[in-house]
Amino acid sequence: MTTTNNPNHPPGPYPKGEHILPPPRPVSPATASYRLNHLMLRIKDPKKSLEFYCDCMGMHVVFIFDAGPWTIYYLGPRDVEIANLGTSKGLLELYHIPADASTPYASGNEYSASGVGFGHVGFTVPDVAATLERVASFGFEVIKPLGEAAEAQMGLPGDVVQGKHGSVHDGYKHVFKQLAFVKDPDGYWVELVPQSLK
C-alpha cells in the first residue's frame, strides 16, 4: 500500500516560506476509529514532574500504577477518569524507573546529549489484532505482538529486565498482554491500545 498519490500529502519540492494546505484526507473505514491517545516520557523525580504537569500545566493524575521495578503516572485533562481512558485524548504517561537514576535522559532536540528519554506514542484502536495485520501489510515492524508480556519487550533498562530490581507485577503483565508495539520508519515505538482494556 502506498500513499504517494494522495492529495492530502502532495510530493515536494514545496515553495519556501509558504503554508501548503492540502485537501482533507478522505475518511477511511479501516482507520476511522484510530486516535492518538498518549505520549510516554521517562522521568527522574515524580514530585517535580507532577508539580510541572499538574500544578503548572493543569493536568491531573488519572491513575498511578506500581509495576514493581517502576511506577507509572497516567495524566490527562480534568474530565478524564479511568473508565473513559480508552476514548480520551491528550494523555501523558510518565515512567519513573529508579534503576535509571544514573542514566541521562535526553530530548530528541539535544544532539550533543546521549541517553534515553522519549518512550513511545500511543494510539487507541478498535481492534489491536486487525491493526497489527494492517501495520504488517504496510511493511512496518511489529516488535511486541498481542498475548506476550516479556520484560525484554517493555523498553526497560537491562538490569530491570534481568529482575535485579524486583519482578514485574502480574497485574501489569495482564494489561501488557492486551497491548502491542510497532516501530515507525525512524524506529520510534508506537503502542496500540484497545479501546477497552480487561
**CA-based nearest residue to 132, from 147, 146, 111, 112:** 146
Asked if the structure places residue 107 within a domain, the reply is no
pLDDT tens digit string along 89-137?
Answer: 889 999 999 998 888 877 665 555 666 777 888 888 899 999 999 999 9
Asked if the structure places residue 150 within a domain, the reply is yes
How buried is residue 170: exposed, middle or buried, by Cβ count under 10 Å (0-12/13-18/19+)? exposed
Asked if the structure places residue 13 within a domain, the reply is no
- What range defines the domain where residue 143 resides? 35-99+114-194
Torsion of the alpha carbons at 51, 98, 71 and 89, rounded to the nearest 10: 60
Domain at 124, CATH number: 3.10.180.10
Residue with cell 477497552: 196
Asked if the structure places residue 27 within a domain, the reply is no
Q: What is the mean pLDDT of the chain?
A: 86
What is the Cα–Cα distance from 151 to 173, expressed in whole angstroms?
9
Percent share of the chain, pLDDT over 70: 93
What is the Cα–Cα distance from 182 to 191, expressed in whole angstroms?
7
Asked if the structure places residue 11 within a domain, the reply is no
- Cα-trace Rg, the chain: 19
Domain count, the chain: 1
- For residues 70 and 96, the answer to whether their CB atoms sit within 8 Å is yes
Q: What number is the average pLDDT over the span 51-79?
A: 92
Q: What is the structure's pLDDT at 2?
A: 45
- Is the pLDDT assigned to residue 74 strictly greater than 50? yes
Asked if the structure places residue 104 within a domain, the reply is no
- Is the pLDDT assigned to residue 3 strictly greater than 50? no
Asked if the structure places residue 6 within a domain, the reply is no
Residue environment code for 36-71, b if the CB has 16+ CB neighbours within 10 A, otherwise e:
ebbbbbbbeeeeebbeebeeeeebeebeeeebbbbb
CA 33, chain centre distance (Å): 17
Asked if the structure places residue 28 within a domain, the reply is no
**CA-based nearest residue to 104, from 42, 160, 163:** 42
Q: What is the structure's pLDDT at 72?
A: 95
What is the Cα–Cα distance from 9 to 20, expressed in whole angstroms?
9
The region, left, alpha or beta by phi > 0 then psi within -120 to 50, assigned to residue 3 is alpha
Percent share of the chain, pLDDT over 90: 38
